[in-house]
Amino acid sequence: MVVLTLAVVAGGVVITQALSTAVDYYCNVDEVGVRSGCDTGRRLRIQGTVGEGSVVVTTGATLFDIEFNGSSLQVEYAGEPGGIFKECLPVVVHGVFNEPSGMFLGDRVEVKHSEDYVAVNDDRLQEAEADSAACETSA
């Protein structure tokens, strides 16, 4: 009976750890390192607006800043994001932090938000679109 109880507890711990590390949290740039779940040591999806004048295409990578609510984050994306990606556009970047450099290493860039995300995060999108409009008018 004791062995069975230990096995169930160990299984629960393993499943809990696997599920908590498998979740990619949505965070705004200004929430990184501040809001619970937006820790730099985990995989994240970070929303922000591509910074004006920040896009630099190098061999095999695209470097750019994403900004939200006065905060900025440097992103290195392997390859070219493609599609309608451009400065002053709201995006969600999936990836992890490179701890020594503090740069966010993106492996996926979403330019359009899914309907599910819009339904749950409409207030975030309104803020991002306002930031985007301000960026475009200053260009």
pLDDT (tens digit, 9 = 90+) per residue, 11-64? 766 665 554 444 567 889 999 888 888 888 888 999 999 999 999 998 889 999
**What domains lie within the chain, and their CATH numbers?**
24-138 (2.40.50.140)
pLDDT at 71: 92
CA distance from start to end of the chain? 70
pLDDT at 137: 63
**Global confidence as pTM:** 0.67
pLDDT higher at 18 or 73: 73
Is the Cα torsion angle 42, 46, 52, 57 positive or negative in sign? positive
Pair of tokens at residue 8: 């169930």
Query: Residues 69-88: what's their mean pLDDT?
Result: 88
pLDDT at 21: 45
Per-residue pLDDT tens over the stretch 84-139: 888 988 999 999 998 888 899 999 998 865 555 556 566 766 776 666 666 666 65
Give the long-range contacts of residues 19-28, CB within 8 A, separation 24 or more: 24/94, 26/92, 26/117, 26/121, 28/68, 28/69, 28/124, 28/127, 28/128
